[in-house]
Amino acid sequence: MEWHDDGIILGLRRHGESSAIVELFTAGHGRHLGLVRGGRSRRMQPVLQPGNSVHATWRARLDEHLGSFALEPDTLRAADLMQSPTALYAFATLAAHLRLLPERDPHPELHARLLAALPQLGGTLAGPQAVVRFELALLADLGFGLDLTECAATGGRQDLIYVSPKTGRAVSRQAGAAYADRLLPLPDFLKLDGAAADADAIAAGFRLTGYFLTRHVAEPRGIALPPERDRLMVALARDAGQGGKA
């Protein structure tokens, strides 16, 4: 068995004296583990860092075996991620979310979104915002997507400012006025790709995606959302209080 694919390193662990087991999130083969012989060598250590992109060749005698990776560097961004606590918390959150997916199950849309998010993770606002957008896509990929395009009550597409915690559908200002204390705020940046957001809007986005991730994903599995996510939210609040804009 053999395949070739592009992947992003999510993590790794030691194996024996000189090798490593590397966890990749690949475009066509999903989250996939493999053995890298000599992975702890000086030559390979800069390559085998979480956040780096690599070209991967996987080989095994049988498909169900762990198999081995031959990895060639593509984009080495780990050093940049290490410069920012926000970036480290953001990447660790994304990696933890991806571990919710079954191993070897392809999710090409999430792979594309992860690639798009990685360059933004060091930004005070851009990094947390990218994580919220990724969480929204993750919910959709897991079958729990939110409908933020029209009002659940009227079918209208204007002035959508709430989300129903029961249905995951948007609600307009007028339709939700009598139930505002029971609805979740819908920040503008989640309705428009590329829209800017301040720290308050991003925090509202985290509350929104966190509610549905907890309800549909974490609680049924008896787990909690990753602690790095909480640390990212704390960093967002702290940096916003210091006037961070990037």
- In single-letter form, the type of residue at position 9 comes to I
Helices (H), 84-177: 85-98, 108-117, 126-141, 173-176
pLDDT value of position 49 = 97
Distances (CA, A) of 162 to 157, 186, 200, 207, 225: 12, 5, 15, 12, 23
pLDDT value of position 246 = 55
Q: What is the pTM of this model?
A: 0.94
What gap in Å lies between CA 221 and CA 225, rounded to an integer? 11
SS3 1: coil
What gap in Å lies between CA 162 and CA 176, rounded to an integer? 7
In tens, the pLDDT along 64-81 reads 999 999 999 999 999 999
Question: Around 118, how many Cα atoms within 13 Å sit in the side-chain half-sphere?
Answer: 22
| Contact status, residue 54 vs residue 71, Cβ threshold 8 Å | yes
Q: How many CB atoms lie within 10 A of CB 72?
A: 9
Question: Which CATH code fits 2-76?
Answer: 2.40.50.140
Cα dihedral: 227, 231, 234, 236 (round 10): -120
Domain spans in the chain, listed from the N-terminal domain onward: 2-76, 83-148+186-241
In tens, the pLDDT along 168-197 reads 999 999 999 999 999 999 999 998 776 779
pLDDT above 90: residue 239: no
